[in-house]
Structure formats: C-alpha cells, structure tokens
Amino acid sequence: DAGVTQSPTHLIKTRGQQVTLRCSPISGHKSVSWYQQVLGQGPQFIFQYYEKEERGRGNFPDRFSARQFPNYSSELNVNALLLGDSALYLCASRLRDSGSLLAGGGTQYFGPGTRLLVL
Amino acid sequence: SQQGEEDPQALSIQEGENATMNCSYKTSINNLQWYRQNSGRGLVHLILIRSNEREKHSGRLRVTLDTSKKSSSLLITASRAADTASYFCATAGGSSGAGSYQLTFGKGTKLSVIP
C-alpha cells in the first residue's frame, strides 16, 4: 500500500503570495493532520481533520486554513505569505479518530513533506 | 509551543555502540511516541509507549517511561551508520477529546553514527 503522499515536494514563493499544499492519506485512513517544521525545530501542530470536519487547530494565524475532501485527501492553504512561513510542511494520517489513546491509539503516519521557501 | 525537550541535542557515537536519548515533557499524557527523521524529510514512527507502561522493546529499540518524572528515554543498541538521523519524542495529550490526538513534539536529538 502507498504511504502518505504530498505535493509538491518543493515550492518557492514570494512574500504576500498564497500557497496550496496537498496531501493524500493512506488508503482507509480518515484523519489527516498538518504540521509545520521550521529548520532546527520539532514539528508544530497546525490542523487536524476527521471525516471532513476540523477537529483541532494549533496556535497559527487565520492566514492558515485547511479542508478535507470526501476522499479524505486534504489541502493546506496559507495566504499572505511571510518569510517566517518558510518551513517543511508535513501531513500525517491516522486510521480513525475514536479509540483510546491509553490503549495505544494515535500513531500517525507522515508523508515526505513539502518544503516551502518564501523569498 | 514545544511540549518537551530532548537531551542531548546532538550525539555522536561509533558504530556498534549504544545510543541513549532522553525526553522530558510538561503535561499529563496518554502515550508517548518516538519518531525518526532522515535529512529533513518525513517522520517515521518507531515506537509508542502507553502511559500505564514503564518499558517497551522493539528490535534494537528500548523505550522507558517515567510518568512521575515526566520523562522518557530511547535506547538504540548496537548502532549502525543507517541509524544516523534526528530523533523526536512526541506526546499525545491527557484529555479524551478529539484534540488529544494531536502530537506535541520536542526539538529532537541529532544522532550521528560513525562507521
């Protein structure tokens, strides 16, 4: 089975532009999350979607938005790009939303990421 | 914001030696996971330990969890050059709501295994 796929792999934009990043989860996975990883840091949570509904949002400005489609793929949009938005954007999928974390649920499967450079 | 801190930030060892990385976190958790990242690409899940477990093994990996100290350690035995990567701990929150599935990562430990 294919893993999580993301497109494009690399992207260069200028300040003020808008960007759309795409993610396809593992077949059968209904939950998609987005993370931003700035160079030298760990990933930071941006959004979580399950069954096309937003289930969580991290501490990011309203310039960041996302959506999930009926086929469970997802898009992350960033408007009015800033230099500080330069980062690796990671998408992760998970089998289901419910289920006990204590029982071991919550493993996420990450895609290769989209590296965004804002000039 | 980052949940925890990995220690050390960087570690260089010879092939065949053991590598130990530590992780501390701040809030209550349901589980703690370790991920590996090669050269700034996607993360690979290594192992998950539940909050009611103290130790877990998977191949050459051994993870311990001490919830009283809010800390975890990852031991890689008999390291190989292919283990060279950054290693991150990530916690899944202590609440039972859907938001608790989001992962909070530390800053990572960069491991270099010298052949």
Give the list of residues 6+ apart from residue B114 with CB closer than 8 angstroms, or none: B12, B13, B14, B15, B81
For the record, the structure tokens of B80 come out as: 């190989």
Task: Choose, out of A88, A102, A114, the residue to mutate when testing the contact with B (most B CBs < 10 Å).
Answer: A102
- The residues, any chain, with a CB within 8 Å of residue A55's CB and separated by 6 or more, are A31, A48, A49, A97, B98, B99, B101
Cβ atoms of B90 and B105 closer than 8 Å? yes
Q: Which of B43, B52, B104 sits opposite A45 (nearest CB)?
A: B104
Contact A54, A46 (CB under 8 A): no
> Which of A56, A110, A111 has the CB atom closest to B102's CB atom?
A56
Q: Is B71 on the interface with A (CB under 8 A)?
A: no
pLDDT of residue A100: 52
CB A86, CB A17: distance < 8 Å:
no
For chain A, say whether B43 makes contact (Cβ under 8 Å).
Answer: yes
Per-residue pLDDT tens over the stretch A3-25: 999 999 999 999 999 999 999 99
Q: Quick check: B92 and A101 CB within 8 A? A: yes
B45–A108 CB contact, under 8 Å: yes
Residue of A110, A115, A116 for testing the chain B interface, max B β-carbons within 10 Å: A110
Q: How confident is the model at residue B4 (pLDDT cuts 50, 70, 90)?
A: low
Q: Which one-letter DSSP state was computed for residue A95? A: S
Q: What's the distance, CA B74 to chain centroid?
A: 6
- Mean pLDDT, chain A, rounded, equals 90
Task: Give residue A98's pLDDT band: very low, low, confident or very high (50, 70, 90).
Answer: very low
With pLDDT > 90 as the criterion, what percentage of chain A qualifies? 75
B37 vs A1: CA distance, rounded Å = 21
Q: Are A85 and A114 in contact (CB under 8 A)?
A: no
CB pairs under 8 A between A and B: 94
Q: What is the share, in percent, of chain B residues with pLDDT greater than 90?
A: 66
Q: Are A119 and A14 in contact (CB under 8 A)?
A: yes
CA of A27, closest CA in chain B: separation in Å? 18
Contact between A108 and B100 using a beta-carbon 8 Å cutoff: no
Closest-CA distance, A76 to chain B, in angstroms, reads 16
pLDDT over 80 at A43, yes or no: yes
Give one word for A113, left, alpha or beta, with left for phi > 0 and alpha for psi -120 to 50. Answer: left
Tokens representing residue A93 in the block: 């999928």
Nearest to B56 by CA among B72, B43, B70, B71: B72
